[in-house]
């Protein structure tokens, strides 16, 4: 099983970020390539910094997935050729296309995608497609599934939200969580749920779990630990009200309303006691609906709520 995150540039540790990252994870999704095409000399350095069994997946440039999605043009084919060379330099067979919410799997769009994927047949690649635009009908879902089968494309989803329609060789999931966008961190129960679903699949095929939550480094570590030891140790050292107060200390924008608090911070996990985790939203839903001017203003409310509603 390959477990990692969306990029290593966020990895906070002294020294070389990729070197340190590769000591904790055996996989990374390269998102740099989505925004710009790095020089080959830089790509070679990436490969030289990681162990031989470390795996890269390359995210296709946004021109191919967002700006001119799957259009078979001279400029797009040049970008595609460049990405294939990056894959080769990194020893990677994974090329991931992530289309936006506004890209719909219409008959016209799928026809263009079919022509595009035709150019990738026989390239010794594992083609991956995360399609975020909604399916408007069962027929559209069937059309998409047929395309994936014909051109050997794996449908990539977040299995906490949706199951894939077709898996070719590798089961590949991108975990964003159940919040808005990637505003989420996985609870112990969710870690176990993902593992319980994925582990049986590993008997027949390769599995990749790519974390993209707000706490993706921690979520990937926890998942990897559970995969190896079948145990979960909390990375939340504080318990009870201290856990809640630590979360609100991360706020750097005051004054702030209850509505914004819930939207921006309700996804965070609190360790109520050694065995129980809750979302900060459960506490924030109880606070007074008003503007909070500073940390101490909010702290008093949270302390009062914990003393009345939760065991410390």
pLDDT of the residue at 192: 96
In this structure, the answer to whether residues 164 and 18 fall within a common structural domain is: yes
Degrees (nearest 5) of the Cα angle 68, 132, 190? Answer: 145
Question: For a pLDDT cut of 70, what percent of the chain falls above it?
Answer: 98
In this structure, the answer to whether residues 36 and 110 fall within a common structural domain is: yes
Residue 283 has pLDDT above 80, yes or no: yes
In this structure, the answer to whether residues 258 and 289 fall within a common structural domain is: yes
Asked if residue 36 lies in contact with residue 63, where contact means CB atoms within 8 angstroms, the answer is no
Q: Which among 298, 275, 295 has a CA at the least distance from the CA of 286?
A: 298
Average pLDDT over residues 168-173: 97
pLDDT of the residue at 235: 62
User: Which of 167, 197, 229 delimits the end of a domain?
Assistant: 229
Residue-number span of the structural domain to which 284 is assigned: 241-309
What secondary structure letter does DSSP report for 203?
Answer: G
Residue 247: pLDDT band with limits 50, 70, 90: confident
Residue 255 has pLDDT above 70, yes or no: yes
- DSSP annotation string for 47-100: HHTS-TT-EEEEEPPHIIIIISTT---HHHHHHHHHHHHHHHHHT--EEEEEE-
Average pLDDT over residues 106-116: 97
In this structure, the answer to whether residues 206 and 255 fall within a common structural domain is: no
Average pLDDT over residues 170-197: 96
In a domain, 234, yes or no: no
In this structure, the answer to whether residues 71 and 142 fall within a common structural domain is: yes
Residue 311: pLDDT band with limits 50, 70, 90: low
Residue 306: pLDDT band with limits 50, 70, 90: confident
In this structure, the answer to whether residues 12 and 159 fall within a common structural domain is: yes
Q: Which among 106, 104, 110, 116 has a CA at the least distance from the CA of 147?
A: 110
Average pLDDT over residues 168-182: 96
Please give the tally of structural domains in the chain: 2
Average pLDDT over residues 195-223: 95
User: Which of 207, 229, 251 delimits the end of a domain?
Assistant: 229
Name the more confident of 150 and 242. Answer: 150
In this structure, the answer to whether residues 93 and 208 fall within a common structural domain is: yes
Residue 34 has pLDDT above 80, yes or no: yes
Q: Which among 96, 144, 103, 90 has a CA at the least distance from the CA of 120?
A: 96
**Count of residues in the chain:** 312
Helices (H), the chain: 17-24, 32-35, 40-48, 62, 74-90, 107-118, 138-151, 188-198, 216-229, 241-249, 258-265, 280-284, 295-309
pLDDT of the residue at 115: 97
pLDDT of the residue at 153: 98
Average pLDDT over residues 258-275: 90
User: Which of 229, 251, 286 delimits the end of a domain?
Assistant: 229
Looking at 90-94, 144-148, 250-254, which range is the least confident one? 250-254
Q: Is the pTM of this model over 0.75?
A: yes
In a domain, 65, yes or no: yes
CA–CA gap between residue 69 and residue 76 (Å, rounded): 9
């Amino acid at each position: 099983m390959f477990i990692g995150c969306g990029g290593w540039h966020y990895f906070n540790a002294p020294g070389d970020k990729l070197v340190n990252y590769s000591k904790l994870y055996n996989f990374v999704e390269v998102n740099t390539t989505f925004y710009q095409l790095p020089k080959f000399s830089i790509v070679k350095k990436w490969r030289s910094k990681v162990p031989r069994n470390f795996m890269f997946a390359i995210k296709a440039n946004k021109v191919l997935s967002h700006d001119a999605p799957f259009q078979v043009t001279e400029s797009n084919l040049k970008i595609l050729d460049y990405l294939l060379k990056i894959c080769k330099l990194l020893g990677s067979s994974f090329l991931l296309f992530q289309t936006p919410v506004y890209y719909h799997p219409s008959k016209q769009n799928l026809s263009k995608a079919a022509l595009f994927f035709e150019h990738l047949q026989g390239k010794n690649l594992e083609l991956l497609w995360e399609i975020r635009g909604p399916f408007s009908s069962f027929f559209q879902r069937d059309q998409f599934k047929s395309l994936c089968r014909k051109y050997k494309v794996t449908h990539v989803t977040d299995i906490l939200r949706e199951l894939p329609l077709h898996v070719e060789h590798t089961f590949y999931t991108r975990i964003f969580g159940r919040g808005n966008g990637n505003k989420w961190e996985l609870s112990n129960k969710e870690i176990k749920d993902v593992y319980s679903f994925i582990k049986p699949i590993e008997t027949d095929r390769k599995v990749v779990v790519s974390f993209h939550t707000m706490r993706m480094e921690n979520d990937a570590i926890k998942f990897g630990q559970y995969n190896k030891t079948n145990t979960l140790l909390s990375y939340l050292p504080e318990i009870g009200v201290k856990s809640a107060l630590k979360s609100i200390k991360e706020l750097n924008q005051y004054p702030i309303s209850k509505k914004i608090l819930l939207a921006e911070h309700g996804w965070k996990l609190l360790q109520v006691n050694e065995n129980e985790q809750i979302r900060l939203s459960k506490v924030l839903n109880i606070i007074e609906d008003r503007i909070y001017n500073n940390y101490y203003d909010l702290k008093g409310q949270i302390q009062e709520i914990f003393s009345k509603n939760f065991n410390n």
